[in-house]
Amino acid sequence: MLSFVEENYLKAIYHLSEAGKRPVNTNALAEEMKTAPASVSDMIKRLSEKRMVDYQKYRGVNISEKGKIKALHVIRQHRIWKVFLVEKLNFQWDQLDEVAEQLEHIKSPLLFQRLDEFLGFPKFDPHGDPIPDENGQLIEKRKDPIAQLPVGTASIVVGVNGSSASFLKYLDKVGISIGTRLQIVDRMEFDGSVDITIDGKKTITISPTVAENILLSEA
Amino acid sequence: MLSFVEENYLKAIYHLSEAGKRPVNTNALAEEMKTAPASVSDMIKRLSEKRMVDYQKYRGVNISEKGKIKALHVIRQHRIWKVFLVEKLNFQWDQLDEVAEQLEHIKSPLLFQRLDEFLGFPKFDPHGDPIPDENGQLIEKRKDPIAQLPVGTASIVVGVNGSSASFLKYLDKVGISIGTRLQIVDRMEFDGSVDITIDGKKTITISPTVAENILLSEA
DNA sequence: ATTATTATTTCGATTAATCTAAATATTTTA
DNA sequence: TAAAATATTTAGATTAATCGAAATAATAAT
Ligand SMILES: [Mn+2]
Ligand SMILES: [Mn+2]
Ligand SMILES: [Mn+2]
Ligand SMILES: [Mn+2]
């Protein structure tokens, strides 16, 4: 059984390695975990003994298959709780992480089974991030920024890049959130501004920066 | 900030002292916490330094005002989660404690505020135990076993003594749960068996033992 | 009032998680 | 390629939580 701390490390390693694609170095992990590099060295040794990571000193750490499954399990629980907090308890986006970071460590398969059912088996969390299934399978849909899609595209908002308060407030104001249907109606060649229609109702112009940071689903 | 373990100890001290009425001795606490008495001595010292308990060695431990408030806070959270698990996730009684023991330690005033609201500000948990308010106030209603109430009494089931699986299964079978309305229609003098009407529908006879273990509200 | 029994505390260790400072390895730069 | 800079690990402590064994205090029995 992994401790809360070990689970948090695994999750960080998973994310920093981009799902296991590249090794993670000690300082990056120390920064992510807000601990001293020395503490990271210690913890990596522990995780290595538990076969959760592959590790050769000075070479960085790679998550193992076993570790990846565990990490995805925690990520699943994290995201399911987020859905609950937003859908049922009306949490704001910026209040989510602090609580989900705690709730994700609750040990009870039954709880998550029932919670998942209660929420209608959601596939994406409130940020548009996909929820892994019980086996750690991620059905990652491609997400493309508006800026990279052709005029005429009509699709669903599945995520945003970054999460600055001012950007989220802007989205709120113009009426865009996860699940909103957008259509790209025009693109200004001179600066990349885009006209979009929101939910088939009103049409607004968004800046190139905004177009870069709103992600639409491929289908 | 108290650790999970400290919170669990405080709760145990609160319960074993019957809400602070009497001191708790080391062995009783060790048994309750399933630890060695030596560990209890250590922990009591820690809690005493934090002014959560009053302690003189060999004299037992008394919960302090500060400690009582903290304990009631944890108890509140424990019971609110139980309501959630039963009402929203359809947990059985015997599956509750393991999960609630974990969830009760989540640190987030906002979460409990919202959860309380989501559940409609429940006053009692699924076992009929009262939920303390945010200030630790307990509006404890008297609970009387059927065996001690006069014939003619009509009232609501607010709790049961004990929680053996077979007893709970029996209650389930005859259709009695927290909130069920019962009327005492007759009592056999020779053995104390009682005839009760359930929800104004069917009338059944319960044994003296059962009559001793079903608790009705005073009002 | 001793003695025996029981309860409690202290002592000394262990494990998990953390830190600072020092040592060592790797990488970069000149 | 040797020195300088950076990254990482090791060494040695600390704190929380736990334990078994030994010492001590309190209580009960003779
Ligand atoms: Mn070390
Ligand atoms: Mn976490
Ligand atoms: Mn000690
Ligand atoms: Mn607990």
Length B35 CA → D29 C1' (Å): 30
The pLDDT of residue A60 is 97
Three-state SS string across B45-89, please? HHHHHCCCEEECCCCCEEECHHHHHHHHHHHHHHHHHHHHHHHCC
Name the residue type at position B146: I
The pLDDT of residue B143 is 79
pTM of the model: 0.79
SS3 B114: helix
DSSP category for residue A52: S
Is residue A14 within 8 A of residue A72, CB to CB? The reply is yes
- Choose between B12 and A164: higher pLDDT: B12
Distance from CA of B5 to the nearest CA of A (A): 14
Beta-bridge partner residues of A195 = A186, A205
The pLDDT of residue B172 is 85
Name the residue type at position B152: G
Contact between chains at B102 and A99 (C-beta distance less than 8 A): no
Question: d(Cα B139, Cα B64) in Å, to the nearest integer?
Answer: 20
Domain limits, chain A: 4-63, 143-217
Q: How confident is the model at residue A163 (pLDDT cuts 50, 70, 90)?
A: low
pLDDT tens for A55-73 read: 999 999 999 999 999 999 9
CA-based nearest residue in chain A for residue B97: A108
Using CA atoms, how far residue B93 sits from A211, B128, B146, in Å, is: 51, 12, 21
Q: Could you give the percent of chain A with pLDDT greater than 90?
A: 69
Fold of the domain built from segment(s) A4-63: Arc Repressor Mutant, subunit A (1.10.10)
Q: Which tokens belong to A87?
A: 């859908």
The pLDDT of residue B128 is 81
pLDDT tens for A175-212 read: 898 878 898 999 998 988 999 999 888 899 999 999 99
Query: What does the pLDDT profile of chain B (219 residues) look like in tens digits?
Result: 999 999 999 999 999 999 999 999 999 999 999 999 999 999 999 999 999 999 999 999 999 999 999 999 999 999 999 999 999 999 998 899 999 999 999 999 999 999 999 999 999 898 888 999 999 998 877 678 999 888 988 888 888 887 677 888 898 889 898 878 899 999 998 998 999 999 888 899 999 999 999 998 876
**Residues whose C-beta lies under 7 Å from strand C:** A 3-6, 34-36, 38-39, 42-43, 46, 58; B 25-28, 37-38, 40-42, 44-45, 55, 57-58, 60
Residues in B closer than 8 angstroms to A98, CB to CB, are: 108
Q: How confident is the model at residue A172 (pLDDT cuts 50, 70, 90)?
A: confident
Length B88 CA → D17 C1' (Å): 35
Residues 6+ apart with CB under 8 A from A58: none
Contact between chains at A111 and B118 (C-beta distance less than 8 A): no
Sign of the CA dihedral A69, A74, A78, A81? Answer: positive
Beta-bridge partner residues of A181 = A156
Distance from CA of A89 to the nearest CA of B (A): 6
Is residue B93 within 8 A of residue B126, CB to CB? The reply is yes
A to B CB pairs, distance under 8 Å: 39
Domain at B143-217: CATH architecture:
Roll (2.30)
Sheet holding B154-160, edge to edge: B143-145, B214-217, B154-160, B181-187, B194-198, B202-206
pLDDT tens for A18-63 read: 999 999 999 999 999 999 999 999 999 999 999 999 999 999 999 9
Centroid of ligand 4 to alpha carbon of B72 (angstroms): 13
Which among B102, B108, B111 has CB closest to A107? B102
Contact between chains at A106 and B103 (C-beta distance less than 8 A): yes
Task: Please report which residue ranges of chain A form alpha helices under DSSP H.
Answer: 4-16, 26-33, 37-49, 65-87, 96-103, 109-118, 165-174, 208-213
The pLDDT of residue B217 is 82
Question: d(Cα A127, Cα A200) in Å, to the nearest integer?
Answer: 22
Q: How confident is the model at residue A153 (pLDDT cuts 50, 70, 90)?
A: confident
Is residue A132 within 8 A of residue A75, CB to CB? The reply is yes
**Residue A214 — φ and ψ, nearest 5°?**
-105, 125
Name the residue type at position B186: D
Centroid of ligand 3 to alpha carbon of B61 (angstroms): 18
Sheet holding A214-217, edge to edge: A143-145, A214-217, A154-160, A181-187, A194-198, A202-206
Length B135 CA → D17 C1' (Å): 30
Name the residue type at position A99: V
The pLDDT of residue B199 is 85
Distance from CA of B61 to the nearest CA of A (A): 31
The pLDDT of residue B219 is 64
Name the residue type at position A210: V
Query: Which residues have beta carbons under 5 A from ligand 4 (an ion)?
Result: B 8, 101
Is residue A74 within 8 A of residue A104, CB to CB? The reply is yes
Contact between chains at A114 and B99 (C-beta distance less than 8 A): no
Distance from CA of B14 to the nearest CA of A (A): 25
